[in-house]
């Protein structure tokens, strides 16, 4: 199966299950099947729970043999996300990639990473240092502040909500 055929299959699944996964809204660029945008809701009981975060997903032509490039567009304070570029440090996007993963399941993995940060492999050293030193209150406070500043919509609505 070619990458284009695989992406069309995923596109159809996303539209068939519309409303099935309220935490993820995944859309394909109208002119390029290799460019996608995702909106993910911050997981409950985390500093990100009030936020909706935009991800840019660029799919290589070798997909699904090669992982997509995924980065946060929305600023986020998290040890595994580079604060300036939005790059995500997640094993499935690097060495642990499998063609069994879909764009939807990658988004679920990013949500899981928000709930379970890995402070030992930080791209944001400030966030990683707060967690490693045991300053969970400081980490939570900074994360909530950036979530409120950057990821909460002024109209209170979330992408995909009615």
Domains recognised in the chain with CATH numbers: 3-153 (3.10.110.10)
Angle at 37 between CA 68 and CA 160, to 5 degrees: 135
Exposed e or buried b for every residue in 55-72, given b needs 16+ CB within 10 A?
bebebeeebbeebbebbb
pLDDT digits (tens, 9 = 90+) for 3-43: 999 999 999 998 887 666 789 999 999 999 999 999 999 99
- What pTM does this model have? 0.92
Instruction: Write down the catalytic residue from 89, 107, 125, 150.
Output: 89
Number of helical H runs and strand E runs in the chain: 4, 4
pLDDT digits (tens, 9 = 90+) for 73-130: 999 999 999 999 999 999 999 999 999 999 999 999 999 999 999 999 899 999 999 9
pLDDT digits (tens, 9 = 90+) for 56-70: 999 999 999 999 999
Q: Which two tokens stand for residue 47?
A: 């500093």
Query: Is 28 noted as a catalytic residue in this protein?
Result: no
């Amino acid at each position: 199966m070619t990458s284009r055929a695989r992406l069309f299959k995923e596109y159809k699944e996303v539209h068939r299950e519309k409303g099935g996964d309220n935490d993820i809204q995944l859309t394909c660029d109208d002119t390029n099947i290799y460019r996608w945008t995702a909106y993910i809701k911050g997981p409950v009981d985390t500093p990100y729970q009030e936020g909706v975060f935009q991800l840019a997903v660029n799919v290589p032509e070798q997909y699904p043999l090669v992982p997509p490039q995924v980065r946060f567009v929305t600023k986020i304070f998290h040890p595994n996300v580079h604060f300036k570029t939005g790059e995500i440090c997640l094993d499935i996007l690097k060495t642990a990639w499998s063609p069994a993963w879909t764009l939807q399941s990658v988004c679920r993995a990013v949500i899981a990473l928000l709930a379970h940060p890995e402070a030992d492999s930080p791209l944001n050293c400030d966030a990683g240092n707060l967690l490693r030193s045991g300053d969970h209150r400081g980490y939570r406070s900074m994360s909530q502040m950036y979530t409120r500043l950057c990821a909460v919509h002024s109209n209170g609505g979330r992408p995909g909500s009615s």
